[in-house]
Amino acid sequence: MAARSNALSELTRFWLQSRHGCLIDEAIPVKVPYAHSDIDLVAVSPDFQPWSLPDGTQVIRAIVETKDEHDFDPEGRDFGKRLRADVIALGESHFIPVGKEAHFSMLRQQHYETAAALFGTTEFHRLFIVHALDEQVRHEICPGLAQDKRIHWLTVREVATDLLTWYEHLNHRAPLRHTFMGDLWHLLVGYCGFKPGAIPGAK
C-alpha cells in the first residue's frame, strides 16, 4: 500500500514506474527547523540510461514533489505567486538557504542536500507535478529554472497526455493490471475509451 494516496501522486508514480521504468522510493524524511519534512518521491533509472520528460529533457535521477489544489486554485494562479516568491528567495543559488521561507519544500537547502547525499551526486533533477501553474509564470520563469538549475514544472494534463500517447502505442498492456493505478488506467482508458475530449467539458 502506498504511503501517499492522493490521485496526483499515484498518477505520477504510475507515470514514473510504468511509463519510464523508474525505481521509486517515497516519503524520504528531511529534517527542517522545529519539524520534519520529506521528499515526496525519488525516481531513478535502474540501468542509469536517461528517460525523457515531455519536452525532451533527459533525466536519470530525480526527486519529485506533487501538489494538487485544483478545488480552490483551478488555474494555478496562487501557485504562480508562490513560485515567483521562491524564485526571488533562490536568487543565483540552487536552493533556498536555511532561514528563508520556501513555499515549495523541494527548493529548500535541506531537501537539496538530502537528495545529493542519497544520490551521491548533485547531478539530479527536481520535478514539480502540479494540477496547474499560471501560464505567464511558466513562460517567464520555468525555462530558466530548467536550464540553469534542473528544476522542471509539469501539469497533470501534460503527464496524462504523455501517458495516453505512450499507452496508445503499448503492445503488451496486460502487465499494467498488476498495480491498482495501472489497472484503473487500463480499465478507463483501454476498455472504456476515456481520454481528453471523450467527456463533455474535459480539456
Model confidence at 97, in pLDDT bands (50, 70, 90)? Answer: very high
* Residue 119 confidence (pLDDT): 94
* Residue 152 confidence (pLDDT): 96
Can you list the domains of the chain with their CATH numbers?
A: 7-161 (3.40.1350)
Strand arrangement, sheet containing 125-130: 23-32, 35-44, 61-67, 125-130, 151-155
Give the position of cell 509564470.
Answer: 137
Please tell me whether residue 39 adopts helix, strand or coil conformation: strand
**pLDDT tens, residue by residue, 105-123:** 999 999 999 999 999 999 9
**pLDDT tens, residue by residue, 31-87:** 877 777 888 899 999 999 999 999 999 999 999 999 988 888 889 899 999 999 999
